[in-house]
Structure 1
Amino acid sequence: MSKRSLDDSSLPPSKRLHSESGAPAAVSLRTFDSALYEELILLIFANLEWHDLSAAQAVNKNWARLSLDRGLWKNQYLQVFGRTRLRGAKGFIGRTDGREIKRLPERAKATEDDFKDWRCMFRISWNWKRGRCTTQRVEGILTSESAPAHVLLTGGVTIVASQEASLCPEVHCLSSGGAPQQTLSCGSPRHRQPFHITALALDQSAPISGILQLAVFLSTGEFLIFAINQLNPSASTLKFTYVPLRPGTRTTPIIQAVYHHPLLISLSEAFTLSLYDLSSDTITHTQTLTAYTTFPPSSLVLSAQTPGNRYKLVLTYTVPIFPMHFSIGVTELIISGSSSPLGVTSTRTVRALDVPAGWIDQEKLHLMQEQWSRKLLSIQDTQSDGKWVILAPGAAPLPGAQSSIGTTTPYHVSGDSLSSLQLYRLFLPAASSVASPSPKLTFVRHLHHTADPVSSMAVADGRCVTLGKNGGIMVYDLESGTGAAVASPSPSKLDSVGTVVFDDRRIITARAGTLQVHCFDI
């Protein structure tokens, strides 16, 4: 906080200078500012709501200066949003846009909260709550309107790759800090036919010297590891290339992948899970797991556990329900490799629809009937952040059409089921002993969506963003169940599949050859 001017006319009477004769100087008219110490004014301001505190800035310069006190806005932020950081972070997020307050010298004793711009954080979070943002279109990146795109966010770097087939697919690294754009070539001298990028995975561990690692999976079964310089993307280099001995359903096509160095996990379309160990500057395939009763769409969440070289993978997927319906299931895999190659040491599975063991009383029967009413004929997408699980219904099959399980569908789902998402709470207690509680997947509520069917979703840190097939964007707070529209669907736009990602300040969508950035830091 800046200090007052040395002019004593603005000070309280007890702090003003006296004349040489000992008589006090002329006393000016007392006001709210001159009669009270700044500490008392701040104490009064601390009892105001955030909108009253914002209105106080327009009274005069002194009120504007006091109402910007970081302690006041910290209390407002914690009271309204209940956390000490912006929401939306997934894995490592390193900011390079200069929004944080610079640190004091090392000799100063201060906490991390002292370097945060709480008023800026409040404004950004409030914009998220209201769906208020600016929209910018990025030209020259996506050239095909029909091929979907992969998009990743990490701090000030945006990574974009099209799924369009080519002899040399490209990955574009865009920086918001003014650094030049970098294009990574993903060619393969072993194949002379066009191929495409099937998945991207960004290393979630903290970077060393600003270097991020990116895994790019190709439809040929190969994958590449790039080292990306976060401050200067043009200095990015290729580190590793993995070529499978026998390309098959294990390596092609890869539809999902997660990476936390040195562990890399890929999931193929045949639902085969592959584990790779990237330590010692080599790529070693350590384990393969296969499932025959689980299907895409799916999502992967990988996190590092302490102590030691231990990881937890949360796999969300679609489960068939006899004879023609689908529901959702979650499997937790504990991966360790302290004294041996990285591999799965334990697994646990929980499903949204399950028949309880033992005798079925009236209460269990009621729960089964309630669960059965939430089964779906088709699922468009499933996403999880390790705590919340969201299920998006898909387009209903036409009467008499064959379902994915192989049976004939005699009817279709009403339009109301497509306008709501199913929200589940995932409970995975620590498996410390035999008496530990079992995992649970509990239905919480329906999140009502617009009439625009969901094309893709992104979930992180208790927040969900959905992209509709006609371009509509919705933001949901999973804890409170509230939602806000960021962009309305356009009936004139083509009904197409798109991609949506977000961090704590932006939403980026790729759809119909258009890349758009929705920024809430305004």
Structure 2
Amino acid sequence: MSKRSLSPVVLPPSKRLHISKNNTFTSRPLRSFDTLLSDEIILLVFSFLSPSDLCAAQSVSHNWSRLALDNQLWKSLFVGEYGRQRLRGGKGFVKRADGREVKPLPARVPPDPAKEAPRDWKWMFKISSNWRTGRCQLTRFTPFPFPPNHPPPISERMHVLLAGPMTIYASSKPSQAPTITITCASSSDAFTVYPTVNSLIPVQITSLAADQCPPLPDIIRFAVCLSTGELAVYELRGHHAQMPTRTHHYAGSRSRRTHPILQAAYHHPLLFTLSKTFSLSVYDATREALQLVHHLSSFSSWPPASLVLTAPSANTFKLLITYASPVYPQHWSLGVTEVLMSCPARASTSAQSAFRLLSTRSVRAFDVPPGWANEARMRVVREQWARKTLAVAATNSDGKWVVLAPTETSCLACAPSFPAAATGGAHPIRRHWTPSSLPLQLYRVSFPPLDAGASAAPRLTFVRYLYGQTSPVASLALADGRCVSLGVDGSVWAWDLETARGVQVYSASPSMQEEPMQNGVLGLITFDERRIISSSPGGVLVRDFDT
């Protein structure tokens, strides 16, 4: 076994055995496990221990504690157990200077270890183990802006956004001066978003979106959408909460394209917005004034929807839209649309935007083949028919996996707004929910390259059901092969989509009881590598796995 650098801990002197012979005292080292074996051999023995045994070995002696904390031991355990060399849950970029974490090619020069920050692999193992077992510390982040006895209308919610070390949240409650609060570990601050359009009616914050491009040093960007049709991009500098600076702005007006905006995705310099009428707008943020580049519409797609924006290459942007797709006569299924944008000259300063629309491709989970069908096609149709649902509570994707949360029509008051056809016109919306055993549906989406030929069609393949959540789902969040769901009863479940292993997230503080959604209060959930943040009638709840 190759030698490695050990922790610079000063060891106590070795115990020596004193022997008296002819009134002369001599001493020799006490023969023990520590003195007979070198550190390398002890580390080889420790490599066969389990994580719990390694933790127990730390309490034996100072020397064992030092060796049991060896970083290489915990790295081997982490990689062997979880199969990757980073924490899961990141969105858009992962812990490298250029925003990607890939294995270097053999011809590349290996990175200088002295310039890289060392990783605490035991700490990473602890967080991943807490994710697997559902153990976390629950704290209440901020009071909910609505009194519990006077719940808000169904259209109001608390927007929560994770942007690096910052937590950004804002209420959608109509106000003459909407407020956004930015907090971090050391401090918190709030600022007011003033619309430039003189409006006599209160203004709502309808959506927030964090920049998904590789982070610049000490810079965090996020976009804000207002009910007036205005858009703004703000920039934060530094590692502590402070007043942000508005860097980009779009002075829009109320229209079917901009009112209200339900979803937004931002990857500088592109900003996508999706309205309630399913109008998709693309904005260029290379200048201070946001420029509308494209406007797309759909008449066969319905909320709830989600947006995932990535940059597969330096000159290509890819947007995945997941949504509810109608199934005749009154059922619903899942649909995914890919929008590809190109930018051959990002540095262009001409008045004409360099962004171009390459293609739009769609695929649906329920697709009846035209004409006569053979037995194989009929078998596929029967399988699809069993997966249709009366209503859709939430849809989400991470670019690879897609999850559909079905619900019953009696639960619509606790779920995001649905089109009128979702109720079939015969089921009144009741403001209560009943326990539901409908599992989540997991799909795998694949869009082959454009030059792959006509035979390589987009595919949306059903993989499995995800069981566990017993109440209707209020919100879904997906990132990096992990799915987190928030139930209307306040329960939170986390799934590993690659292994289909799910666990209910339990609080390490029994006194902190999770509160159910009340009378149409919309819950929202998001997460990163270390925490899950959700909104409820009692406030914003933070579930921290670093405990």
User: TM-score, with normalisation over the residues of structure 1?
Assistant: 0.87
* 2:149 is aligned with 1:136: no
Paired residues of 1:152 and 1:160 also in contact (CA < 8 A): yes
Q: Distance in 2 between matches of 1:186 and 1:6?
A: 62
- What's the CA shift string for 1:266-310, capped at 9, x where partnerless? 00100000010111333110110011011111110000121x421
Q: Contact between 2:515 and 2:538, CA under 8 Å: does it hold in 1? A: no
Q: Which amino acid is the alignment partner of residue 376 of structure 2?
A: E
Task: Note if 1:369 corresponds to 2:359.
Answer: no
Q: 1:305 matched to which residue of 2?
A: 312
Q: 2:478 aligns with which of 459, 462, 479?
A: 459
Q: Does 2:531 align with 1:506? A: yes
More relative contact order, 1 or 2 (CA 8 Å, 6+ apart): 2
* Distance of 2:367 and 2:81 partners within structure 1: 38
Equivalence for 2:46? 45
SS in 2 for 1:280: coil
Contact 2:236 2:245 in 1 (8 A): yes
C-alpha change, 1:5 and 1:276, in structure 2 (3 Å) is closer
Residue in 1 aligned with 2:7? Answer: 2
- 1:407-448 per-residue CA deviation (whole Å, 9 max, x = no partner) reads 555899x97865311111112232333166222111111111
Is 1:67 the counterpart of 2:91? The answer is no
Shift of 1:93: 6.6
Q: Hey, what does 1:291 align to over in structure 2?
A: 298
Q: CA deviation at 1:235?
A: 3.5
Instruction: After TM superposition, list the pairs within 5 Å mapping 1:211-250 onto structure 2.
Output: 211-244=219-252, 247-250=254-257
Equivalences for 1:116-135 in 2 at 5 Å?
Answer: 116-135=119-138
Deviates more, 1:221-230 or 1:322-331: 221-230
Q: CA offset at residue 469 of structure 1? A: 1.1
Which residue matches 1:422?
A: 441
Alignment partner of 1:58 is 2:59: yes
Output the TM-score relative to the length of structure 2. 0.83
Deviation at 1:357, TM superposition (A): 6.1
Paired residues of 1:148 and 1:511 also in contact (CA < 8 A): no
- Per-residue CA deviations over 1:314-351 (Å, capped at 9, x if unaligned) read 11111100011000011111101225532321122111
Counterpart of 1:320? 326
Contact 2:391 2:422 in 1 (8 A): no
- Aligned with 1:191: secondary structure? coil
Aligned partners of 1:418, 1:130: CA distance in 2, in Å? 22
CA distance in 2, matches of 1:329, 1:367: 17
* Alignment pair present for 1:378 and 2:386: no
Aligned residue for 1:355, secondary structure, equals coil
Q: Give the match for residue 100 of structure 1.
A: none
What value does the CA root-mean-square deviation take over the aligned residues? 3.0
Report the CA distance shift for 1:113/1:475 in structure 2 as closer, same or farther (over 3 A).
farther
Residue equivalent to 1:447: 466
Shift of 1:112: 8.3
Aligned partner of residue 330 in structure 1, secondary structure: strand
- Deviations 1:201-230, CA, capped at 9 Å, x for gaps: 111123434222221111111112212224
Question: SS in structure 1 opposite 2:387?
Answer: coil
Q: How many Å apart are 1:7 and its aligned residue?
A: 7.7
In the aligned structure 2, how far is the partner of 1:371 from the partner of 1:297? 20
CA contact (8 A) 1:204 1:259 kept: yes
- Residue in 2 that maps onto 1:104: none
What's the offset of the Cα at 1:117? 0.6
Identify the match of residue 271 of structure 2 among 264, 283, 287: 264
Gaps of 5+ in 1: 12-24, 96-106
User: How many residue pairs get matched?
Assistant: 492
Instruction: Kindly indicate whether the alpha-carbon contact (under 8 Å) linking 1:324 and 1:403 is maintained by their aligned counterparts in 2.
Output: no
8 Å Cα contact 1:171-1:186 kept in structure 2? no
Question: C-alpha offsets along residues 173-223 of structure 1, whole Å, 9 cap, x if unaligned?
Answer: 1111x1342324334451121121111111112343422222111111111
Superposition deviation, residue 127 in structure 1: 0.4
Question: Is 2:475–2:524's contact at 8 Å kept on the other side of the alignment?
Answer: yes
Does the CA contact (< 8 Å) of 1:466 and 1:473 recur in 2?
A: yes
Change (3 A) 1:229 1:108: closer
Separation in structure 1 between the aligned mates of residue 53 and residue 434 of structure 2, nearest angstrom? 44
Residues 507 and 407 from structure 1, CA distance in 2 versus in 1: closer, same or farther, beyond 3 angstroms? closer
1:7 and 1:418 mapped to 2: Cα distance? 60
Distance 1:251 1:50, change over 3 A: same
Alpha-carbon distance change, 93 to 171 in structure 1, aligned in 2, over 3 angstroms: farther
1:521 aligns to 2:527 (yes or no): no
Equivalence for 2:169: 160
